Amino acid sequence: MRVLSCFADGSSQWRDSHGHVTEALKSREGTAVELLAFAPGGGYYIMWEDGASSWLGLLRGLDNQLIGRQKSRARVEFLAVGPEGEWFVRFLDGGWKAGGLAERCSEVLNDLHTKGWSIQKVLIGHDESWVIVYS
């Protein structure tokens, strides 16, 4: 279980039953987190404002995309993981990859891409619900 409590004075308190996210966050204490995504089974992805990132327990396809981009290509701009392990990642160069999405979501994504739209984000919810942000 993960719990983030935010208080009126701007402070916050974090609890992580697995301890992995807490350890990763403490390793970069004092550096602001730009992106935080949770995955089923205790997985996570963290990107700090300086572009450094850490992840654990992500699905193989997403993990492979992150490893492949880590050394030689544009870094992550946006990343989302759904409750059933669906995922979407967009990179700063405009490239994106997705996996495990509902069939209709994949069809719409491919149609938008084919028509020349720029896919910005895919937000993934329960029961195959999704939102595509594009421009």
CA distances from 62 to 27, 28, 32, 114, 121 (A): 23, 23, 24, 22, 15
For 91-101, how does the pLDDT look when each residue is reduced to its tens digit (9 = 90+)?
999 999 999 99
Largest Cα–Cα distance of the chain, in whole Å? 47
Report pLDDT for 24.
Answer: 84
Report pLDDT for 69.
Answer: 80
Three-state DSSP at 74 gives: coil
Report pLDDT for 41.
Answer: 85
For 8-50, how does the pLDDT look when each residue is reduced to its tens digit (9 = 90+)?
776 666 565 566 777 888 888 888 899 999 888 888 999 999 9
Asked if residue 5 has pLDDT above 70, the reply is: no
For 50-76, how does the pLDDT look when each residue is reduced to its tens digit (9 = 90+)?
988 999 999 999 999 999 887 767 889
Please give the single-letter amino acid code of residue 126: H
- What lies within 8 Å, CB to CB, of 91 at 6+ separation is 69, 73, 74, 75, 76, 77
